[in-house]
């Protein structure tokens, strides 16, 4: 029965986390808009193993896209991310530092709750100003509603003035806390904080979904020219242009792979549990041979004996299934808390687990039940 418990628990927990993650990913991508394109660096191997220089994305690439691919583009934002220690007073916290350009709020659908976002003058002047998320406020002060506007904080030991607080977004697609962030001008991030010249991504918001394909082609053509890339394309591209639906599809494919792996483990557990039930029932048949003989002697048919032992096997399996469901719900909540993914246990999945448990009991109980039903009553009564 332990195998049934483990198998069902694994399925319930796996499906709960998988569905919760899928729902969370869909919500996040929907909140960012369906007309968003993300340009990132590609690290794949070129076609035929050719050696090419894979250039990073730069602010100049973003500016060129804005100028030469303006048709169909609503806004474009530069993003350079990294992690670092944030400090306020005696409290320190490791957070995400995002260097972004001024249009990032519009592109990524962020809103300001208090204060303001940095302006073009601060962007051009590499100003040391920061707009932070509510989780970072809480981690630095112990109070999520604390007012840090105008206060100085340290990011990687560099002094910044807080000028705004972001409206809460909650957990991201992969469980990360989106509100644990400090946004600073991308110019400041590159020159003063990260000491680099490249971007993690270029975010492009298209005017309509219908413009996305044309804009993607324009961006790809421009970057191939700027990076001096040679065919075949896209194999030799040193960048990727992906829509939200493509990112969602890739995430779903990864989730399906993990689900299949865990599903295989759960299936093995169910098989082991089924074999265990069969062995238990075989032992039970042997120990109850005289009982079977007495029942047949007083009129019980082979069908009655078969039905009795099948029901017993199914009850054992169903009991394991119910315990597995309860354990799976608990494990799903524990894993969800660790991954910051709200588990979703749906009734059809629970009902399916019950049905599968019963089916396993019947399948592996057939042989012991038939063996019990086939006993000759005279031989059974003589059994010691």
pLDDT of residue 46: 58
Q: Examine the pLDDT at 297 and tell me if it is beyond 80.
A: yes
Q: Examine the pLDDT at 173 and tell me if it is beyond 60.
A: no
Using CA atoms of 135, 141, 147, 151 in order, give the dihedral in degrees to the nearest 10.
Answer: -110
SS3 at position 126: coil
Query: What is the per-residue pLDDT across 320-335, written as a single tens digit (0 to 9) for each?
Result: 889 989 998 998 889 8
Query: What is the per-residue pLDDT across 38-90, written as a single tens digit (0 to 9) for each?
Result: 999 987 665 555 555 678 999 999 999 988 766 789 899 999 999 999 999 99
Q: Examine the pLDDT at 239 and tell me if it is beyond 70.
A: yes
Angstrom distance (rounded) from CA 132 to CA 100: 12
- In which element (H, E) is residue 268 found? helix 244-287
Residue 77 pairs in a beta bridge with 203
Mean of pLDDT over the chain: 86
pLDDT of residue 121: 95
Q: Examine the pLDDT at 252 and tell me if it is beyond 90.
A: no
Phi, psi of 259 (to 5 degrees): -65, -40
Query: Mutual orientation of helices 59-68 and 212-226 as an angle, nearest 10°?
Result: 130
Query: What is the per-residue pLDDT across 32-46, written as a single tens digit (0 to 9) for each?
Result: 667 889 999 987 665
Peptide bond into 234 cis (omega under 30): yes
pLDDT of residue 342: 79
pLDDT of residue 68: 78
SS3 at position 78: strand
Q: What is the pTM of this model?
A: 0.67
Q: What six digits make up the tokens of 137?
A: 């406020």
Query: What is the per-residue pLDDT across 200-218, written as a single tens digit (0 to 9) for each?
Result: 999 999 888 888 888 989 9
Angstrom distance (rounded) from CA 115 to CA 184: 14
Residue 21 CB partners (closer than 8 Å, separation 6+)? 173, 174, 175, 255, 339, 341
């Amino acid at each position: 029965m332990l195998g049934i418990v483990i198998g069902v628990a694994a399925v319930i927990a796996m499906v709960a986390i998988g569905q919760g993650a899928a729902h969370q990913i869909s919500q996040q991508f929907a909140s960012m808009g369906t007309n968003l394109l993300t340009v990132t660096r590609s690290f794949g191997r070129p076609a035929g193993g050719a050696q090419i220089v894979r250039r990073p994305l730069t602010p100049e690439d973003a500016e060129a896209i804005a100028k030469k691919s303006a048709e169909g583009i609503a806004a474009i934002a530069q993003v350079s991310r990294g992690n670092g220690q944030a400090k306020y007073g005696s409290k320190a916290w490791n957070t995400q530092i995002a260097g972004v350009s001024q249009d990032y709020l519009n592109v990524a659908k962020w809103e300001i709750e208090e204060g303001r976002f940095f302006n073009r003058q601060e962007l051009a002047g590499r100003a040391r100003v920061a707009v932070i998320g509510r989780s970072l406020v809480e981690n630095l002060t112990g109070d999520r509603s604390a007012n840090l506007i105008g206060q100085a904080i340290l990011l990687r030991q560099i002094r910044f003035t807080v000028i705004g607080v972001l409206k809460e977004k909650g957990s991201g697609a992969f469980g990360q806390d989106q509100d644990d962030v400090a946004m600073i001008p991308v110019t400041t991030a590159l020159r003063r904080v990260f000491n680099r010249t490249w971007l993690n991504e270029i975010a492009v918001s298209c005017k309509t979904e219908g413009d996305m394909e044309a804009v993607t082609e324009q961006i790809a053509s421009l970057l191939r020219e700027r990076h001096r890339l040679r065919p075949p394309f896209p194999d030799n591209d040193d960048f990727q242009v992906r829509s939200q639906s493509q990112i969602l599809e890739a995430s779903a494919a990864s989730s399906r792979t993990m689900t299949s792996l865990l599903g295989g483990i759960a299936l093995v557990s169910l098989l082991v549990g089924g074999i265990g039930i069969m062995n238990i029932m075989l032992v039970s048949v042997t120990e109850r041979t005289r009982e079977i003989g007495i029942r047949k002697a007083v009129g019980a048919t082979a069908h009655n004996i078969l039905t009795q032992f099948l029901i017993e096997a199914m009850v054992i399996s169903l009991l394991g299934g119910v315990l597995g469901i309860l354990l799976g719900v608990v494990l799903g909540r524990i894993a969800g808390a660790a991954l910051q993914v709200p588990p979703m246990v749906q009734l059809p999945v629970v009902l399916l687990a019950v049905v599968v448990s019963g089916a396993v009991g019947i399948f592996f109980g057939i042989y012991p039940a038939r063996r019990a039903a086939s006993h000759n009553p005279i031989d059974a009564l003589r059994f010691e």
